[in-house]
Amino acid sequence: MSFDDTTAAGAEGVRLQKVLANAGVASRRVCEQYIVEGRIRVNGEVVTELGRRIDPETDLVDVDGTAIQLDTTKRYIMLNKPTGVVSSMKDEQGRPDLRRFTKEWEERLYNVGRLDAETSGLLVLTNDGDLAHVLAHPSFGVTKVYIAKVTGRVTPQTIARLTKGVELEDGPIAADKARLLDTSGETSLVELTLHSGRNRIVRRMLAEVGHPVVELVRRQFGPLHLGTLPAGRARELTKVERGALLTVARQAAPTPPGDS
């Protein structure tokens, strides 16, 4: 760090191009070019002057509309949770929990939302509390996509009913999207997209329309896709995935949760 940057860090902040380079966006020279081209925004405003200084701890920066992670202490992990594991970092009943999947990271991680023990698929682990709040709370509208294997032959009328809405004991619920992927023999594959965080909501919806779930997996969480990640494996999000996730979180909640 140069004398100017050291001085600035304690008083006025750090030069924007240095912060961007440290975040892995590109070399400092290329980042300067991005600034001049008007591709960088700080707190929602386009910045074109190379002398701009920011506070990496509080300022929000995006490049071409994609949020940039400036705090290198934050971790964002994708886990393909297997069945038989509860969504908890420490289960008081001694059941298999999530600790076994986080041993390689020193940070204390928490799961964003939950999957019931019988459900497998995409679970996000992080130490970013603000992001976790936005992603987990249904009021912010972050969607999740599930693939359910159910009993019986699902009809187009049943799919329409799921999107129109069904009445459950804790109130009505409608899928954001629903589609029939396959039906053969005595089972069908249904894809449901929801932003609700209600307990066991997919299983309860499908049971209500007469097709109990045999197997359930979450394939997508917001902009994240499970892809080919094997069951029981965890990995850090790529730079592109982190940017997409942070972008969704900032768009959903432009002000911190406590300030809204």
Domains of the chain: 3-67 (3.10.290.10), 76-139+223-259 (3.30.70.580), 143-221 (3.30.70.1560)
Query: DSSP per residue over 211-246, as a string?
Result: --EEEEEEEEETTEE-TTPPTT-EEEPPHHHHHHHH
What are the tens digits of pLDDT across the range 39-76? Answer: 999 999 999 999 899 998 889 999 999 999 888 889 99
Q: Are 216 and 176 in contact (CB under 8 A)?
A: no
Tell me what the mean pLDDT of segment 197-217 comes to: 95
Q: What is the pLDDT of residue 253?
A: 61
Residues of the chain above pLDDT 70, percent: 93
Please give the pLDDT value at position 8.
39
4 pLDDT above the threshold of 90: no
Does residue 140 have a pLDDT over 50?
A: yes
Mean pLDDT taken over the chain: 89
Residues with a known catalytic role: 116
Tens of pLDDT along 79-115?
999 999 999 988 888 899 999 999 889 999 999 989 9
Structure tokens at 12: 């006025």
